[in-house]
Structure 1
């Protein structure tokens, strides 16, 4: 066994070393940083289109709608073909989704029933694991099958060809992203590890005992290189249930699997996301709201009680969904998914309720933050950056942050402090000592190095901004490329020097690999009270040649009632790409 020791002066340098060793992260598609709506599962093309229509009708921002498993005929798992009785015209469905300015992600498993053509093609080359068939294992639907051997280069090429012939090129590249489920590989649920390995081997490379954990990596290789071979300039995006070192080089993210709809499971996602990020992988998400509801929640649906606002379980369900959404806005992937109870905002609670209003407020805040968030995305590639940051990454000299599990930095300018317990309306927040801190909503200032009792009403979670932060907001939008960001609001927080780099490119292609992107450095000098917007570096097709920067100067003495991103500003300038200095 080979060991690698990666040294660095701080955690960011260690992560950079890890990515030097395992592969450079991609710039993920801009739309993937918007809101995703998913459920287990949409059963017809009509359901998908009507759901997206409702989002647009209600003016709720969204960028991605997801088709989960079983869009195929019941006995045809692995065919990668739509059941025409429920999806009569997949091309029209995809065209409709795109016409509504959204993207389409589809679930593809590395699993095949023995009866389908794709199984037989793979098996003819020896690229199917046979143990499940030898042991006559039937899945929960009553059919027999197995998984393909993704370790074989030829198998990966054939697997992609089958996907391409049946889903990608067939529908004129209408599939925008791939959901690679069960990529452990999970040939059979709830199975001892020794038998899971037996079911997943031997592999092309050797014993599954040695190679088992890397399955998701080689499976991602199949899709990433396959798609780039037929449509080389469309960014690949994959979501995979399991991960391995190096996933980032294939435009791939992971989520935390089928978690329960419980408060303790929500709290566990906070540490899961932080630990995943500390492991060097930059993009992570979860089943926001939880995947599997408790029986007391599912009975609300089955008994027709989803509008009984006096029901104690319904009250808790709605609060759980509200708090989970508030949390989910400040992680790399903002994705709602689950089974049983539908997770569209209007199915969680009616319009006008505190639940609905809070979910929509935070969704819209996410979209106003898109210039900031996409700049973090650019930094992932160009600076080996990590957007979801355990406090120790930025405040390593403060011993008090070493074991904080429920606060983190989302980029350099936002410290997120979600609420993970039912009925809680206040919570302790530790403010690292290296900075002063501003309440995001009221601008109330606090000295660092103390624990405060922070207000956490039902509708909001505590979020703080460090002194010296530069926070960039864009216009109100309902999808990520709805309009050019020709006016940006720049919030500058006094008390310390600060710096932020605004990154922009075309958002969906690989032209950034050819140097087609731009960066604008914004530098705040606290002693001189100046903001310098530096000369733009680089260019790309469609780049704005000029724009307006509206500057809001936040100081210790100017508290506000709430965060109003359309309120008055302190300064504004017309920027044409040349350096300007603004006196604040």
Structure 2
């Protein structure tokens, strides 16, 4: 890696160069080197986490001061919580919200300085609905909302139990693990009696506040621990001028055995109980070739958990952007709690319960409880809060080809040409960091890419796009326009002494824009304009990597926690938001460059709640191993359950060299995942499909073509996601919520409610077991063979076969003409595959717009519903107007017919007889060329 002159002094430069040499050995290793876990903290190496996980159960010092609680004019219940050991008062606000949600916030009543509250994640501040106090005595308050949600607030110890129509759903602080570290001045130790306190001024010890003077002698001072004010990990010291400020609380889900969510982790879909040393960690980190079956932090953090049983689904959203841990354990619910308010006990047997403990380094307790009751309701409620997913442009859900790196313009030209020569569709070619001038983003290497505009125009003429990488670290070079502008305008984050923070990443010495500032995001967005980003074109899009943020010489390969952002907030407060803000800036820049008319596409590695509003994410630096292929299913399903639907894993594995069987199976799996991109490390062998043996190339080509045929189905799923928050890729239990056999299932999944996918992820496997839930048939999409549920069947899975099944009762739209890219399919005709249920009926939908602009927001789209019942297939408009299509209905395939019709008629403006044929023992009826415009009302009648 080339070293360039920086603004560091000579001694710092020497140190940094040595550091980079060491990092090069760690990061630019041979593919296959396992992650060095010593670079990342364990929970026992984290001071605030130790203080929380060592809290004894059942000894909570917190008590609700009941006579302070009242319902204010805005309908919110407010009052105080007293720490009886130190006399500190906390404020508690409990909000009843529309659409069956509750929010509560706990903060210091009189903090020394404001505590961080997460901005920009909620799309609106939800409007409260009024609580009504039903009963109050010396031990508790019972209050209810008009939506049937009731809270029992218990005084000592402080506890809240939330009921939904007399069913206990959430218990807050049932084990007494709440801890809220109040802000304080540092007490002088024996060693520093004569030294001034932190900040240079000598101060007195702060006396515990807000209790009667005669009680002061009974209060206890909280023990001081060294890591409350300063903490060291390896060679890095984190200085904490504001002292300890962590928060924690335990939550129980009575009646539940399964919880899901809180990505990102390379772990199971159904979250496992944690031990004392392996809680789930949420702290965005750059982890090369992560291990599997681990709870260690990865690139993204979404503090949202769902619990599910046969009766209902609920959600918990912990709105905090600091480093966070979650402990999970299985338990049995306390039946006495069920009867405390209603004398209600659900059955005689033990009631299962999941206990969770959440603790974060800073901020406040700001929690949303989502009462469902269905899985769809919970995701709708969550995305009402954090934003519905954006509707991606059509090209972005097609196939992407990437590697680190395509060498130059000629290499790009050859890759593009080879897709056409081998009849393999592809929409996007990607360029990694080597395309830039010395890792200076938004620039080009003039030797390798002397005319990027011509290269992009060549791709555009064929309907293809390009994506270039844009990372947040800015090379410290006064001749680099991004650095000079950032420095001149003071846009970069600072150290505590006010100087510019310097870290090291791919270009070497780097500064990091403070994307928590809107003016900085606006500046960055403006630099994506075609005038500023020289050589760019409308068909050029962005990829945001390293935005955790990654700092090679920082603690845990990220930014120091005591770095200072806007308004004096420390990085510890905002860490998990940094990648979201960077993603936000890049998406906005793409929108601005088009004058607000074109939809953006930006891929991000780091993410947080709300990322779904801006673009896609992927699972980072996976490896070409069967285990990583298998792990992609639960990882993607977990992220989808956290409200982020546009998700994928690098096809083939980023590290190492897959053999042809593994690569083939990975393409088959990727073709049925939301974001479909092949990617590879710079040290791997080239593995484009045409470089493989002919039989492997053919299988991969067929998998990619299958993806393109289903683009109308995928696009409709993404439209529905943008309206409801439901991910296209769904765990089985989401579609079959009462079937307990699906609750831990992660090796198969649903696309919408129509397709069941069971990717092969075991080497040498040529068959697999598939569970078919429900009572209706499931039809193999290739052979139309029917499997009856509920049952497990052994199905064929030869190397050229990916097991995919259409559910009886669904209708799936396809476009089956083979094209080089999605933009050339716009006017192609449709095929409707109608799979009948036991009642002989089916339904489905189809969404169409121009595929790229925001015109759909002005109702310029087509949204049709298809229904088959009583031997009639009908098409009717659901919504949309002002958009027309030239696409027509070429074919209808009806699977599962009980009898063959004598004639088939199209009823539109006139009645026309249609030709048809049967196959597969007369169970499949194919109707040819109805010829009607797909956007019109019509009926096909079988008689």
Same fold (TM over 0.5): yes
1:32 to 377, 396, 403: 396
Offset of 1:540 from its aligned partner?
Answer: 4.2
- Relative to 1, partners in 2 of residues 1:139 and 1:107: Cα closer, same or farther, differing over 3 Å? closer
In the alignment, structure 1 residue 265 sits paired with structure 2 residue 651: no
Cα separation, 2, equivalents of 1:462 and 1:239: 29
Greater Rg by CA: 2
1:494 to 831, 836, 861: 836
- Relative to 1, partners in 2 of residues 1:134 and 1:211: Cα closer, same or farther, differing over 3 Å? closer
Cα contact 1:39–1:66 (8 A) shared by 2: yes
Deviations 1:274-327 (A, max 9, x none): 00001111110111110000xxx4xxxxxxxxxxxxxxxxxx611110000000
Cα contact 2:466–2:539 (8 A) shared by 1: yes
Q: Residue 292 of structure 1 aligns to a residue in which SS?
A: coil
Determine the structure 2 residue equivalent to 1:357.
698
In the alignment, structure 1 residue 154 sits paired with structure 2 residue 519: yes
Offset of 1:175 from its aligned partner?
Answer: 4.4
Determine the structure 2 residue equivalent to 1:452.
793
In the alignment, structure 1 residue 100 sits paired with structure 2 residue 462: yes
Cα contact 2:400–2:429 (8 A) shared by 1: yes
Deviations 1:192-250 (A, max 9, x none): 44x73416832225122121001122112212223323311111111000111111222
1:554 to 892, 895, 911: 895
Cα contact 2:456–2:540 (8 A) shared by 1: no
Matches within 5 A, 1:316-331: 317-331=659-673
Offset of 1:438 from its aligned partner?
Answer: 1.4
Deviations 1:91-127 (A, max 9, x none): 1011011112201111000011111332232133333
- What's the Cα RMSD here? 2.5
Offset of 1:529 from its aligned partner?
Answer: 3.0
Uncovered stretches (5+) of structure 1, i.e. residues with no partner: 298-315, 562-566
In the alignment, structure 1 residue 516 sits paired with structure 2 residue 880: no
Determine the structure 2 residue equivalent to 1:2.
366
Deviations 1:78-99 (A, max 9, x none): 3521111111111101101111
In the alignment, structure 1 residue 575 sits paired with structure 2 residue 932: yes
Cα separation, 2, equivalents of 1:536 and 1:404: 34
Q: Residue 501 of structure 1 aligns to a residue in which SS?
A: strand
Matches within 5 A, 1:398-417: 398-417=739-758
Cα separation, 1, equivalents of 2:502 and 2:885: 58
Aligned length: 545
Q: Residue 319 of structure 1 aligns to a residue in which SS?
A: helix
Matches within 5 A, 1:152-231: 152-164=517-529, 168=533, 170-171=534-535, 173-188=537-552, 192-193=555-556, 196-198=558-560, 201-204=563-566, 206-231=569-594
Q: Residue 453 of structure 2 aligns to a residue in which SS?
A: helix
Cα contact 1:285–1:333 (8 A) shared by 2: yes
In the alignment, structure 1 residue 289 sits paired with structure 2 residue 652: yes
**Structure with the largest fraction of strand:** 2
Cα separation, 2, equivalents of 1:136 and 1:570: 67
Q: Residue 2 of structure 1 aligns to a residue in which SS?
A: strand
Cα separation, 1, equivalents of 2:724 and 2:932: 25
2:617 to 254, 261, 264: 254
1:479 to 803, 807, 821: 821
- Relative to 1, partners in 2 of residues 1:93 and 1:572: Cα closer, same or farther, differing over 3 Å? closer
Cα separation, 2, equivalents of 1:264 and 1:519: 40
Cα separation, 1, equivalents of 2:742 and 2:765: 22
Q: Residue 491 of structure 1 aligns to a residue in which SS?
A: strand
In the alignment, structure 1 residue 45 sits paired with structure 2 residue 387: no
Cα separation, 1, equivalents of 2:792 and 2:626: 23
Q: Residue 364 of structure 1 aligns to a residue in which SS?
A: helix
Q: Residue 789 of structure 2 aligns to a residue in which SS?
A: coil
Cα separation, 1, equivalents of 2:441 and 2:833: 52
Structure having greater relative contact order (Cα 8 Å, sep ≥ 6): 1
Cα contact 1:434–1:449 (8 A) shared by 2: yes
Cα contact 1:266–1:324 (8 A) shared by 2: yes
- Relative to 1, partners in 2 of residues 1:224 and 1:137: Cα closer, same or farther, differing over 3 Å? closer
Offset of 1:369 from its aligned partner?
Answer: 1.1
Cα separation, 2, equivalents of 1:484 and 1:80: 32
Uncovered stretches (5+) of structure 2, i.e. residues with no partner: 1-364, 899-917
Cα separation, 2, equivalents of 1:135 and 1:21: 34
Matches within 5 A, 1:75-154: 77-115=439-477, 116-130=480-494, 138-139=504-505, 143-154=508-519
Q: Residue 481 of structure 1 aligns to a residue in which SS?
A: helix
Cα separation, 2, equivalents of 1:135 and 1:484: 49
Determine the structure 2 residue equivalent to 1:420.
761
**Structure with the largest fraction of helix:** 1
Which range moves more in the overlay, 172-181 or 147-156? 172-181
Offset of 1:2 from its aligned partner?
Answer: 0.8
Cα separation, 2, equivalents of 1:200 and 1:542: 56
- Relative to 1, partners in 2 of residues 1:79 and 1:268: Cα closer, same or farther, differing over 3 Å? closer
